[in-house]
């Protein structure tokens, strides 16, 4: 979660540099009005309005929120976005350390990849192995 905290503190949308991000191309928003834990129903509505039909929201000074048609899908987008943030930070540091810039994924390539692996079914299917591991390691105890 360190990666998300660093990215969100920078108050910027992620650039499309890592292939995982293509699953969320134009499917995430930056919620800049977040001031802490959501206690008021109005704040929840504001976040939902900002999120709209997107898969993810980066809540400035807080963290990440993902949604999906299934729990598996929402979890997969969360894990993917955390990995994307981590890769973004590593790429930025490596490029900055040598005085260069990161290589951007071309828009057409990102759109095509998003079309192929950014669907709700792809999110659910991609999370399945993670859930299978949890099930095996807990013997299904989490279901009780």
> Domains, the chain, ranges and CATH?
2-143 (3.40.225.10)
Q: Are the C-beta atoms of residues 55 and 77 closer than 8 Å to each other? A: yes
Q: What is the mean pLDDT of residues 11-34?
A: 64
* Separation of alpha carbons 4 and 50, rounded Å: 19
* Strands across the sheet containing 56-59: 28-31, 56-59, 63-66
* Separation of alpha carbons 140 and 100, rounded Å: 49
* Separation of alpha carbons 92 and 56, rounded Å: 22
In this prediction, residue 115 carries a pLDDT of: 86
Mean pLDDT of the chain: 81
In this prediction, residue 17 carries a pLDDT of: 47
State the distance between the two ends of the chain, measured CA to CA, in whole angstroms.
Answer: 27
Residue 16 has pLDDT above 50, yes or no: no
Residue 3 has pLDDT above 70, yes or no: no
Q: What is the mean pLDDT of residues 64-75?
A: 94
Lowest-pLDDT range, 16-30, 31-45, 60-74, 112-126? 16-30
């Amino acid at each position: 979660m360190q990666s998300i905290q660093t990215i969100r503190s920078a108050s910027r949308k992620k650039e499309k540099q890592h292939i995982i991000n293509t699953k969320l191309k134009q499917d995430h928003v930056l919620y800049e009005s977040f001031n802490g834990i959501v206690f008021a129903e109005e704040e929840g509505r504001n976040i939902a309005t900002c999120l709209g039909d997107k898969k993810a929201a980066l809540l400035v000074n807080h963290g990440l929120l993902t949604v999906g048609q299934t729990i598996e899908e929402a979890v997969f987008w969360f894990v993917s976005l955390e990995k994307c943030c981590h890769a973004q930070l590593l790429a930025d540091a490596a490029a900055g350390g040598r005085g260069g810039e990161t290589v951007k994924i071309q828009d057409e390539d990102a759109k095509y990849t998003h079309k192929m692996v950014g669907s709700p079914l792809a999110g659910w299917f991609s999370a399945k192995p993670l859930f299978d591991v949890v099930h095996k390691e807990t013997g299904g105890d989490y279901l009780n």
